């Protein structure tokens, strides 16, 4: 199943670096999500896009900057990160946002280590 792809799969960066995470979905979905999964913490929703419009920004620090150029692609731009930002970053998509039955399909994630 390659419905949602993410690159890179692993990333090591220094606190002064700038990098970007990429997510692409091949499912024809209209909504896309970024999640952060830290060790021993529940999944945290970071950003939600619907039809390329951002609909949610869950008090995420400005060092994380999302971009959704079209309904198939989602980026997360990273700059001046902190060691506590080290985590697994998961991208997901769903057909829409409205119905309770909307299933989110996830990519394989990017494991980020900030040194």
Partner 1 sequence: AQKITQTQPGMFVQEKEAVTLDCTYDTSDQSYGLFWYKQPSSGEMIFLIYQGSYDEQNATEGRYSLNFQKARKSANLVISASQLGDSAMYFCAMRPDSNYQLIWGAGTKLIIKP
Q: Which residues bind partner 1 (CB under 8 A)?
A: 42-43, 45, 48, 55-56, 88, 90, 92, 97-98, 100-109, 111
Residue 51 region by backbone torsions, left for phi larger than 0, else alpha for psi between -120 and 50, else beta: left
Q: In whole angstroms, how close is the CB of 12 to partner 1 at the nearest point?
A: 16
State the first-to-last Cα distance of the chain, in angstroms, to the nearest integer. 33
For residue 38, what are its two tokens? 């830290």
CB of 42 to partner 1, least distance (A): 5
Q: Which is nearer to partner 1, 83 or 101 (CB)?
A: 101
Which is nearer to partner 1, 81 or 92 (by Cβ)?
92
Please, which residue, 112 or 114, has the CB nearer to partner 1? 112
| Strands 44-50 and 110-114, sheet pairing | unpaired
Instruction: Tell me the three state secondary structure of residue 78.
Output: strand
What is the nearest approach in angstroms of partner 1 to the Cβ of residue 61? 19
Backbone angles phi and psi of 89, in degrees to 5: -105, 120
Name the minimum Å distance from CB 49 to partner 1: 12
Q: Which is nearer to partner 1, 80 or 105 (CB)?
A: 105
Residue 39 DSSP class: T
């Amino acid at each position: 199943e390659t419905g949602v792809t993410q690159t890179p799969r692993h990333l090591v960066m220094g606190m002064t670096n700038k990098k970007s995470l990429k997510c692409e979905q091949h499912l024809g979905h209209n909504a896309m999500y970024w999640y952060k999964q830290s060790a021993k913490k529940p999944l945290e929703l970071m950003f939600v896009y619907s039809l390329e419009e951002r609909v949610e920004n869950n008090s995420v620090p400005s060092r994380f900057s999302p971009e959704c150029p079209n309904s198939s692609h989602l980026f997360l731009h990273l700059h001046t990160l902190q060691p506590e930002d080290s985590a697994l970053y998961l991208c997901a998509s769903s057909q829409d946002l409205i119905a309770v039955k909307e299933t989110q399909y996830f990519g394989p994630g990017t494991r980020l280590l900030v040194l």
